[in-house]
Amino acid sequence: MKKVRLDIMALSHSVTQSHNYAVVLGEEGGNRRLPIVIGGFEAQSIAVALENMTPNRPLTHDLFKNTLDAFDIELREVVINNLLDGIFYAQLICEQDEKVMQIDARTSDAISMAVRYGCPIYTFDFIMDTAGVTLDETEEQSEPSEGAGTKTKTTKTKSISLEEMGIPSLEKLLEEALQKEDYEKAAQIRDILHSKKGNDS
């Protein structure tokens, strides 16, 4: 089976499943997208790693990475290897002393680990053919319920009141959010800060 390399394209709220999110994976060098519904905790964990934030205490995925590192186990790649009854399945491909090991994982956990290790994410053509969508000029994309057939828009929702605040106030709010371990809000504030500082430069 042909492997397809994927990149994380977007992380957004799911408009069809409250309290859930969608991570959108894009085919490297292609126009197919693979949207996957994930929970709020997993979305926060991915966002923290993408934003290079340092939590006051390690999150579960940080703890698992630290444990693998302590035993000299390297995560080489993540493979989304199956899709059954609308549920995605994944494996962590690890190596220790030149011995390769395959560890079953939830897809959301596997993606979160891949971000922390900076390792590639792969899937297979049959999964892209079944659950993937082809990018068009609209922002609507098909979103599987850990699989199949709903819709989402990958637009970021930002608070107008936050956007109107100055940089010093936003930096203070960011610090408070990190102290409270509210990483979802911290990621939102960090995005706005980056935008404002970019415009000021």
pLDDT in tens, 92-140: 999 999 999 999 999 999 999 999 999 999 999 999 999 988 876 444 4
Mean pLDDT, the chain, as a whole number?
81
For residue 98, is it left (φ>0), alpha (ψ between -120 and 50) or beta? Answer: left
Bridge partner list, 142 = 151
Specify the range with the lowest mean pLDDT, choosing from 24-28, 59-63, 95-99, 167-171.
167-171
pLDDT of residue 146: 45
Q: Which pLDDT score, from 0 to 100, does residue 174 have? A: 77
pLDDT digits (tens, 9 = 90+) for 139-182: 444 444 444 333 333 333 333 356 767 787 777 777 777 777 67
Q: Which residue has the tokens 């993408």?
A: 50
Q: Which domains does the chain have, with CATH numbers?
A: 3-153 (3.10.690.10), 160-200 (no CATH)
The mean per-residue pLDDT over the stretch 181-199 comes to 74
Q: Which whole-number Å values give the CA distances from 7 to 11, 115, 118, 179, 183, in the listed order?
A: 12, 10, 11, 30, 22
Query: What's the pLDDT at 87?
Result: 92
pLDDT at 81: 97
pLDDT on residue 80: 98
Does residue 201 surpass a pLDDT of 80? no
d(CA 184, CA 188): 6
pLDDT of the residue at 102 = 97
Say which residue the tokens 């940089």 belong to.
Answer: 167
Any idea which of 13-17, 25-29, 60-64, 97-101 has the lowest mean pLDDT?
A: 13-17
